[in-house]
Structure 1
Amino acid sequence: MKTVIKKLFYLCLFALITNVYGQKDDSNQPQKAVWKGKLDYRFVPSIKEQLQNKSFIPATINKDNFYGKDKRAKGNKVVPGKGLPVGLDPLLNTQSRAPQKRIKSTSLTFETTNSTSTPSDPTGAVGRDYYIASWNTSFRIFNKDGTPATPAASLATLFPGGADGDPIVLYDSQADRYIVTEFEDDPNGFHVAISQTNDPVNGGWHVYSATSFQTGTFPDYTKFSIWSDGYYVTANISASDNAGNTRNGQVWVLERDKMLTGDTSASIQAFSLPGMATNGFYSPQAFNVTDGNLPARGNATIVYMQDDAWAGVTSDHLKLWTINVDWTNSLNSTISAATQIPTAPFTGVFDGGGFANLPQPTGPSIDAMQATIMNQAQFRKFATHNSVVFNFVVNTNATGKLAGVRWYELRQNGDGQPWSIFQEGTYVAPDGRHAFGASMAMDGAGNIGMGYSSVSSTESISLRYTGRFKDDPLNSMTALEELIVQSTSDNTNTRYADYSHLTVDPSNDADFWFVSEYFNSGARSNMVGVFQLTAPPNNDVGVRSITNPTSGVLSNAEDITISIKNFGTDDQSNFPVSYTINGGTAVTETYTGTVSQNETVSFTFATKADLSISNQIYTIAASTGLTGDENSSNDEATVEVINAINTCTPAALQGCGLDGIKRFVLGTIDTDDGNDGCNTTGTVQGYVDRRNLTTDLDRSSTTPYTLRARHNWAAGATSEVLSAWIDFNDNGTFESTEQLITGASFTQANRLDDFSLDIPTSAPLGSHILRVKAMDGTAGGDINDPCSNYDFGEVHDYSVKIVDSTLSTDDVILENSEIKVLTLPNKQYQIELITDYEDLISFRVFDILGKQIVFNNIIKEGNKYNYSLDMSYATPGVYLIKMGSARSFKTVKLLVK
């Protein structure tokens, strides 16, 4: 699997990279459309109909070590020492002096998925009747109370060619239609599905495909926006292909009017972005209409940020382009020259442009998603003006590292008028946490809501929100931060989310629906939080969480401890609190202390709970019962815990003489003689405890391991199936994220069969339990449930030790390569690596203190890799250059005088 994914990664990467270095486009002149074409059309039946006729394709269970096809691999070219500000972000003082107001807590939270690839690509949009969420290669329709309206579906349910991913969900409020999109790499392009009616469950879908892109031009990181005369699409793609052809474009406009009616003649036009100063990574956004009040047709605007720390950019600014489409005659369609709007200085660079930026309590540092206009740039019309709000991440402390959100509101006096900055601010989270991955919008009253992610070296990722009321002092977020969800574990990978998504409920034009990624007991999950910018009620007390007990060895006298928060403005005391176990009789006691406004307190019930049954799952529900509580939505919290004294021991109910595993081989483990008979440890038929047998598995291996097993049921040679899990988090359970083999079929009987066991590169080191379940797939039982009983078969437990043999000098090809530094005038340097190595390599520069000041990924040109390094702004001294792969680097010192 790793080899296939690696090849796919490089295929996508080579498609989006056109040159090793950014090129400045000096032809900042209005341009025509670079090409036009017809969209391919097909009609897809409703989800309900697909479920009835069994053509529905369910969502796949993705593994955390499976990477989506996109990869923001190549960064913008950073010039060390160049750019302002030198120290702190100049807008921090404005934010720190702003008055802070409490706002109401979330009215609804719910998970959309807890089984995603890396990253999860969270997106979702709320409509008048439904909320549609999507991630990676799947989507699901929810009722507006958070309950599922459909099963989770593969994107292949809607789109041809399989489920490629990077979806975006939109709601076209003016048309009352739901939209789901994805990109495509074979052939290059993207797909758009529009609900036939305002009911995405019972109505069909108009599906349009744009696959007119030239070979080798993959539209990575696509973003979609709604405008009056079209659906606008941007992507991380060069204006030309590898051969220098310029017909591909960087912005595409789809004929909205025809697409809404299922017209098969709907067309597409493409435009390049004149005057773009850098092309290492493209993340422009088209303005997206938030509500149903569309502007006059034409004058659609594209925005991108430009950082003066990049080569070719002289000052921090925003660039805007205006597109006018003529659907009758494409020769009349135009994109304007770029308009430059100066901004307060900002630093959009982390770690020299690298992709591992923000530390967490455990695991790797995660990608801050720099150089990106975050999803989406939200437009709204008012009686006196038009507004648009958007944001991107900045390093608010150039001498250290603290991620914050630089946000903007632009205004124009009316449709088609010039845009200017009405307000700009930099938001940082409290307590020294990073704030990043934000998405923002404006409600019907003109209040701004912003959801974002937060993390620090001592606190796991959380999803939070803030905002500002329309009449508050400009250039600052005035709402006190509120929590949506706190992760219970850390990200095991540098990649995170890729974007988040906030939309406004058209039913009241006030509720903000925000979705992004968090980590729930090791599972990469997406959470929706619904909130308003309104003051909290006077009387509102609720249970924030149940902090004890947690899964593990539990007794018949466990403390139940809860976290209680006063969400209201009035102090509260002497109110009842209760808990139940598995829906049983409630235990009710009284909290006698006083909880001040916005205060959180801990309370342990005097009555202990009996949780002593081994392997039993207990659902604990705790609640408050304040008289006159004005918001009951936050009164109760629930948690599931398991008494995991031992792993679960499922049984073969009918037999295991021929079924199951009659010989098992993995690494140095080779057990059983292959004869018939039932393997059993203890009294549970078919359960085998061999945790005393262990083997090493190298997580850095480039090829999967071969797990070999044998069954002896000749009459059902191919009816036997096998699954495998490794308990990476050592909690005694086998989560879906820990499943490495999923119901694979045997091909033969009475001899060993081979199964591929792919160890995640992020697998935690040390010893863990390996569970293997093999059974008759035609009889009773669930092969993908590690704990449930089954009719015929066996479950075996072994031990495996995860090791990592990665060395920094054992790559023979790179070890024998030659690195050269050519010194040019004005502190310019040409760095060359001459090698037979062919794949992507990274280029890094470190200062004398070991701080990374330049990072980029580069591809080979001829027989060598080249990098033009500009050190004209760097402090004189000694620097270390590293070029190579993740396993082996060639290094050279550079003296800058």
Structure 2
Amino acid sequence: MNTKFFLLLFIPVIITAGYSQNKINEQKATLVTKAGYMIEIPSISEQIASGEFKEATNIKKEYNPKRRDANLSVPGKGLPIGSDPLWQKQTKATKIKGKEPILTFEAASAYATPTDPTGAVGPNHFLNAWNSSFRIWDKEGNPLVSPASLGTIFPGETDGDPIVMYDPFADRFIVTQFTFLNGFLVAVSQGPDPVNSGWYTYYFPTNSFPDYPKFSLWSDGYYITSNKNSGSAGFSEVVYAIERDKMLIGDPDAQMIGFPLPNISTNGFYSPLGFNVNGPELPPPGNAPIVYMQDDSWFGVSQDHLKIWSINVDWDTPANSTISNPQIINTQPFDGLFDGGSFSNLPQPTGQDIDALQATIMYMAQYRRFSDHNAVVFNFVVDLDGSDDLAGIRWYELRQENDGDNWNIYQEGTYAQPEGHSAFSGNMCMDGQGNIGLAYTIVSNTKYPSLRYTGRYASDPLNIMTLAEESIAEGTSQDPASRYGDYSQMTIDPVDDLTFWSIGEYFTGGPRKNHVGVFKIAAELQNDVGIVSIDSPQDGSLTNAEEITITIRNFGINEQSDIPVYYKINDGLEVNEVFTGTIQSNTNQQFTFTTTGDFSEPGMEYHISAGTSMLADQNIENDTVSIIVTHLYSDDIGVTEISSPESGIYMSDEEAVSITVTNFGVAAQTDFPVSYFLNGGEAVTETVSGTVEPGSTLYYTFAQTADLSVIGDHELTVSTDLAGDLNTNNDYTTAIITNSLCQPELLCVQGVGLYEFHLGNIQNISGCDPGGYGDYTDLSTSLQQGSANDLTIATEYGDVFVTVWIDFNDNFYYEPDEIVVDNYIIAPGETGGNYAETISMLIPSIAPIGQHLMRAKSNYNAEVPADPCEETIFGETEDYTVEIILGTGAGDQQIENNDLILLNGGSNQFTMIYNPVATTETLILTVHNINGQTILRNRVPYNNGNYRFEFDMSYAQPGVYLLRLGSGNFGKIKRFYVK
């Protein structure tokens, strides 16, 4: 390869972090350096002609395991409690018929885990990249070159996490990746044609590894954020600006300036973003924004909010460059924490749960300038219902009236997939008319990962995605790993500034696939009108003469006048009138019918449909809209959710009772009584002193706790008792709360129990345990990976079925794939007697090394239920501990014999201490609740001779939890109690 190589002798200038001498609200840069080198790379076409072109290699491996420093989430902390507060607004929104994709095509097929799909559209090309390759296409979806290794433009470098951008203001493509040499690699095309133009390839060094780099375009530089140094992100450089003007001309002296993010909070893994400029106009230099979300489930964050920092670079005197302290924008509550911060979250039909991509502003944060404001749109994943299994997308449009002003929320919504699947991995953009496109991945236990999109017109009602969902690609197989994404991307076609190009990851068997979807929201037909909303009446106290107001949209290109419109209530007669005004292209007009409607019956639901009937309309699919309007009672409140207590084990006699009260009426309510009844007992009645406005909710916790200490089911009914409430249907909510030990009560009389249990060092002659349950977790034995072990069980009756589970994943829950003895029958057909049978119990060769709980369960004359907690009439359950080991060497025994110590310092503040003998690697700590849900996950480094971790369980529900500390080589477990 004929390259020009500029090796630069540079000395990075590390600047001590401190506040500016001039402005107390600013902090100086902490790093000033230059490019480590710049290489001129021949064009792809030249390399193909010379035989130097490097084709992509399809290696089957995991790229760049996700890195997390100390996880600072607090189990149980933060709002919302239960459902996302914006979820129902999206669910109830009127949907406008969307548009099918203009083009879709498969852009990559690779075994890389994950693929990291990225791509950008230019005037004549689409360039996409993945781990660790790229490809160039025309805009019809035809490939112009074979898949190329990233080493084609980065000689010897294929480490991954690529990003592709198109710079419309310079007409250049940019391809980037990180390097394990600690730094960023950036290739800038020397012209507009990525096939026939050469490349300026730069290396910019960093002082530590810059994981998960994300690039954006601003007028005075290319900006980079990274998941770097999360423990010191507030005072060491974690965001960077590189000198765009010099890079566009191949100047080897291009500089890089690094900044901290003052006052940032993270939960270990984090990904802020710089604003990326779209449209025909660059902003003035300076005030480059960086945005990140702050979740109140994290330590040190008291309210959900956004932080926005502004960077001002001075390329002439780089030491004068500054970053502001953040602007804080409070938001509606959101729950961005999944499974305690772990990377295995959302269920799919088969296989393991996949990564929801939490704590990440999804790529890109898209900025655009309009005549009277500046706007930016971005999104991140949220938990919709508190289960950690159902995800939605919290999205924002922020606006700024003038350059340099503070940013404000213009609209804020939570998008929920309409069929009940999770929606996550969002990528969004705004076109030149202000319409918004949002593409995303859907998944659930009935739907394989698939790619969909929605959107909204600029003039639509705020805070909702109004367009009906459309499909880009339908998945037909599972993600074979928990890693997904790690990102997706949407860009806007610079030719029309209206066409969205999205790329994301999905699965059809074999290699992972990256698929492109191209769609447009803006007008394409000459004549196309329709109703986008019925604006009034709305739910409320209604009369027999309510005005019907609709919004008519001109979806087409031609202006329209004298549009026939109609409405109908329930099965009544159609009312026809004419809108006599004029509606310009891509605009809306309201119209109020002269004929009113009767909505006078309290509590009644009314179905209203409205539409247009223009003869020249070229698209009738968007003509009509329907809504349901309810005549609300004046005074109507009710309990919509019992937030706590939840079913658990070892529940106490002082369980807090927390509820959500909703005002369904039209009058504000305050000082109203609420009551709860436990197991049909006397009412506990208290007065809610707060005010709940119409349509709003209020969280309330009773001062009087509930006694749920008795094992079994408890019926808890909660009600409101508002005087004058005429609708009692929503006053009461009942929940069955189960206090369980997961210790099934069985009858092991007449010999159907596990009278003897012999496995390795476990030699237990127990007879019939009281209540049919025996806790023998203090008894343990070692079992080798891949070994066949003799398990001897004795009973005193025949036809006894036995199942044994080992909790290999240490989530405090026995699952079907953890069965090691599956309904073995002892003495089939026999009755009373003494029967001892030896079963060969096979331990999988990939069984996780370390301590695990083991459960053995018997059932007479029928199979043991799949649910290990389910009670049957005759049988017995016994719990033990086993240690899975590699072999019998001394090193394994040293690990096995060490103890994990867990101290309760009071107020449910815990300290874990582990003194190792044979390991010093960083270990993973997880905490699980009785339902097997991960509520905390953290990396714990070896320090000063031991492993030590402090964690706060004061916000968690009382009950029993399981802690595991370990790695892929071993693990230790400990059960503990939260009071």
If the TM-score is normalised by the length of the shorter chain, which range does it land in? 0.5 to 0.7
1:238 aligns to 2:235 (yes or no): no
Q: Higher relative contact order by CA 8 Å / sep ≥ 6: 1 or 2?
A: 1
Match of 1:858 in 2: 940
Match of 1:32 in 2: 28
Read off the aligned partner of 2:341 and give its amino acid letter: G
Match of 1:810 in 2: 884
Match of 2:49 in 1: 52
**Which among 81, 105, 108 is matched to residue 110 of structure 1?**
105
Superposed counterparts of 1:750-765, under 5 Å: none
CA distance in 2: counterparts of 1:146 and 1:457, whole angstroms: 32
SS at match of 2:368: strand
1:530 aligns to 2:530 (yes or no): no
**Which among 167, 176, 193 is matched to residue 199 of structure 1?**
193
1:143 aligns to 2:224 (yes or no): no
CA offset at residue 810 of structure 1? 2.3
SS at match of 2:296: coil
CA distance in 2: counterparts of 1:311 and 1:395, whole angstroms: 18
Change (3 A) 1:28 1:393: farther
Change (3 A) 1:107 1:630: farther
Query: Contact 1:371 / 1:392 at 8 angstroms: preserved in 2?
Result: yes
Map Cα deviations across residues 138-189 of structure 1 (whole Å, 9 max, x no partner). 0011111111111111111111442111000000011111000000112x10
1:824 aligns to 2:905 (yes or no): yes
CA offset at residue 467 of structure 1? 0.7
Query: Contact 1:239 / 1:249 at 8 angstroms: preserved in 2?
Result: no
CA offset at residue 245 of structure 1? 12
1:436 aligns to 2:424 (yes or no): yes
1:121 aligns to 2:145 (yes or no): no
Query: Contact 1:814 / 1:884 at 8 angstroms: preserved in 2?
Result: no
SS at match of 1:94: helix
CA offset at residue 815 of structure 1? 2.3
Superposed counterparts of 1:482-521, under 5 Å: 482-521=470-509
Q: Percent identity of the aligned residues?
A: 49
Read off the aligned partner of 1:148 and give its amino acid letter: P
Superposed counterparts of 1:777-792, under 5 Å: none
SS at match of 2:942: coil
Paired residue total: 612
Change (3 A) 1:828 1:245: closer
Query: Contact 2:376 / 2:398 at 8 angstroms: preserved in 1?
Result: yes
Change (3 A) 1:76 1:805: closer
CA offset at residue 534 of structure 1? 4.4
Query: Contact 1:283 / 1:304 at 8 angstroms: preserved in 2?
Result: yes
Q: TM-score normalized by structure 2?
A: 0.60
CA distance in 2: counterparts of 1:245 and 1:305, whole angstroms: 15
Larger radius of gyration: 2
Query: Contact 2:234 / 2:263 at 8 angstroms: preserved in 1?
Result: no
CA offset at residue 876 of structure 1? 2.5
When structure 1 is superposed on structure 2, of 839-848 and 129-138 the one drifting more is: 839-848
CA offset at residue 806 of structure 1? 4.6
Query: Contact 2:104 / 2:518 at 8 angstroms: preserved in 1?
Result: yes
SS at match of 1:526: strand
CA offset at residue 238 of structure 1? 1.1
CA distance in 2: counterparts of 1:537 and 1:834, whole angstroms: 72
CA offset at residue 398 of structure 1? 1.1
CA distance in 1: counterparts of 2:845 and 2:910, whole angstroms: 40
CA offset at residue 887 of structure 1? 5.5
Map Cα deviations across residues 100-140 of structure 1 (whole Å, 9 max, x no partner). 11111011111111124000000000001100000011001
Change (3 A) 1:367 1:239: closer
CA offset at residue 827 of structure 1? 2.5
1:83 aligns to 2:78 (yes or no): yes
CA offset at residue 72 of structure 1? 3.6
Match of 1:882 in 2: 964
Match of 1:458 in 2: 446
SS at match of 1:52: helix
Map Cα deviations across residues 737-794 of structure 1 (whole Å, 9 max, x no partner). xxxxxxxxxxxxxxxxxxxxxxxxxx9x9xxxxxxxxxxxxxxxxxxxxxxxxxxxxx
SS at match of 1:461: strand
Change (3 A) 1:449 1:113: same
Query: Contact 1:814 / 1:890 at 8 angstroms: preserved in 2?
Result: no
SS at match of 1:430: coil
SS at match of 1:352: helix
When structure 1 is superposed on structure 2, of 275-284 and 335-344 the one drifting more is: 275-284
Query: Contact 1:75 / 1:280 at 8 angstroms: preserved in 2?
Result: yes
Superposed counterparts of 1:168-207, under 5 Å: 168-186=163-181, 188-207=182-201
Match of 1:833 in 2: 914
Query: Contact 1:238 / 1:279 at 8 angstroms: preserved in 2?
Result: no
CA offset at residue 57 of structure 1? 1.0
**Which among 160, 163, 167 is matched to residue 162 of structure 2?**
167
CA offset at residue 266 of structure 1? 1.2
Query: Contact 2:921 / 2:941 at 8 angstroms: preserved in 1?
Result: yes
CA offset at residue 74 of structure 1? 4.5
Query: Contact 1:278 / 1:312 at 8 angstroms: preserved in 2?
Result: no
CA offset at residue 825 of structure 1? 4.2
**Which among 302, 318, 325 is matched to residue 330 of structure 1?**
318
1:423 aligns to 2:411 (yes or no): yes
Match of 2:212 in 1: 221
SS at match of 2:419: helix
Match of 2:251 in 1: 263
Change (3 A) 1:227 1:518: same
Unaligned runs of 5+ in 2: 1-22, 529-554, 557-616, 620-784, 787-816, 820-843, 851-882, 886-891
CA offset at residue 292 of structure 1? 3.7
When structure 1 is superposed on structure 2, of 290-299 and 495-504 the one drifting more is: 290-299
Superposed counterparts of 1:356-367, under 5 Å: 356-367=344-355
SS at match of 1:491: coil
CA offset at residue 459 of structure 1? 1.1
Superposed counterparts of 1:254-653, under 5 Å: 254-278=242-266, 280-399=268-387, 401-534=389-522
Query: Contact 1:104 / 1:535 at 8 angstroms: preserved in 2?
Result: no
CA offset at residue 894 of structure 1? 2.1
SS at match of 2:157: coil
Match of 1:97 in 2: 92
Match of 1:894 in 2: 976
Match of 2:927 in 1: 845
Query: Contact 1:490 / 1:522 at 8 angstroms: preserved in 2?
Result: no
Query: Contact 2:396 / 2:411 at 8 angstroms: preserved in 1?
Result: yes
SS at match of 1:50: helix
CA distance in 1: counterparts of 2:241 and 2:403, whole angstroms: 19
Map Cα deviations across residues 865-891 of structure 1 (whole Å, 9 max, x no partner). 221111121222222211112464311
CA distance in 2: counterparts of 1:826 and 1:31, whole angstroms: 38
Query: Contact 1:406 / 1:427 at 8 angstroms: preserved in 2?
Result: yes
CA offset at residue 376 of structure 1? 0.7
Read off the aligned partner of 2:129 and give its amino acid letter: S
Cα RMSD, aligned residues only: 2.8
CA distance in 2: counterparts of 1:537 and 1:174, whole angstroms: 30
Change (3 A) 1:416 1:73: same
CA distance in 2: counterparts of 1:308 and 1:37, whole angstroms: 36
CA distance in 2: counterparts of 1:814 and 1:476, whole angstroms: 55
SS at match of 2:245: helix
CA distance in 1: counterparts of 2:47 and 2:230, whole angstroms: 40
Query: Contact 1:28 / 1:274 at 8 angstroms: preserved in 2?
Result: no
Query: Contact 1:281 / 1:371 at 8 angstroms: preserved in 2?
Result: yes
When structure 1 is superposed on structure 2, of 477-486 and 286-295 the one drifting more is: 286-295
Read off the aligned partner of 2:185 and give its amino acid letter: H
Read off the aligned partner of 2:884 and give its amino acid letter: D
CA offset at residue 380 of structure 1? 0.3
